[in-house]
Amino acid sequence: MARRASGPIWVTGASSGIGRALALKLARQGRVVAASARSLHDLAGLADDARLVGGVVRVYPLDVADRGAVAATARQIVADLGPIECAVFAAGTHLPVEIDGFDADIFRRLVEVNFMGVVHGLEAVLPAMIAARAGHIAIVSSVAGYRGLPTAAAYGATKAALINMAEALKLDCDRAGIKLQLIDPGFVRTPLTDKNPFPMPFLIEADLAADRIIAGLVSRRFEITFPKRFTWQVKLLRMLPYPLYFWLVRKATGR
């Protein structure tokens, strides 16, 4: 992601958290960023901040759950800025799930934003990238998708779906000349994690997360995960038998 003449980078979920920090750092590096989120006010603030550091962020308000709007936004970015070189699909939200008052609408909302929002983005950018036999796509998931965690039944399910989908698409994208990467952060300080009522081990700031992502985007790694001293511990949990896994989670969370 060094400073050079190249196509725009499309970042969804750019109004706050990881998406905002990433868009601002890319703009500071000299990249032209097309930033999407639902809040025009927050996007305008991002564009102002980018100008202060000599960068360019063009704003494209968007609800990623709207399939037609995602396709139209991708077309508008191409018309304004040229072919999309890289798309980072970072839009996402979280709502806790408890068995008391279990609500299907929570699952539907998170599936529409976290999972289908990425699917809509893929549908919008893949045809041009396939035709050009070039392009770069990064999907932001989470270590919450590795195994089930209390109160994350909906959020974790959407993140697990993203991980599985990215793995399934990887070889096809390789054959098409498209670089596909999966981003699995641990705990990052964002407006969403600020609402968590539990301790978050190895919590990092969004600016540091953006640095880790940018370093990963220029690498050949399929998965970009951080902070590794935490995420590799979570990876090990995937290999544990259920009795031991549930015992450890119960001990850690008090559930």
Tell me whether residue 155 is one of the annotated catalytic residues.
Answer: yes
| C-alpha distances out from residue 6 to 18, 33, 36, 214, Å | 23, 11, 19, 16
- Give the CATH number, domain containing residue 67: 3.40.50.720
Catalytic residue among 60, 155, 242, 245: 155
Give 2's pLDDT tier (boundaries 50, 70, 90): very low
3 lies in a domain?
Answer: no
113 lies in a domain?
Answer: yes
1 lies in a domain?
Answer: no
Range of the domain at 54: 9-253
91 lies in a domain?
Answer: yes
Classified as helix, coil or strand, 37 is coil
Q: Which residue has the higher pLDDT, 64 or 206?
A: 64
pLDDT of residue 233: 87
With a threshold of 0.85, does the pTM exceed it? Answer: yes
Maximum Cα interatomic distance, the chain, rounded to a whole number of Å: 55
17 lies in a domain?
Answer: yes
pLDDT of residue 188: 81
Domain tally for the chain? 1
| C-alpha distances out from residue 4 to 31, 52, 159, 164, 208, Å | 7, 20, 33, 33, 23
pLDDT of residue 154: 97
Mean pLDDT across 85-105: 96
4 lies in a domain?
Answer: no
Radius of gyration of the chain (CA): 18
pLDDT value at 146 more than 90: yes
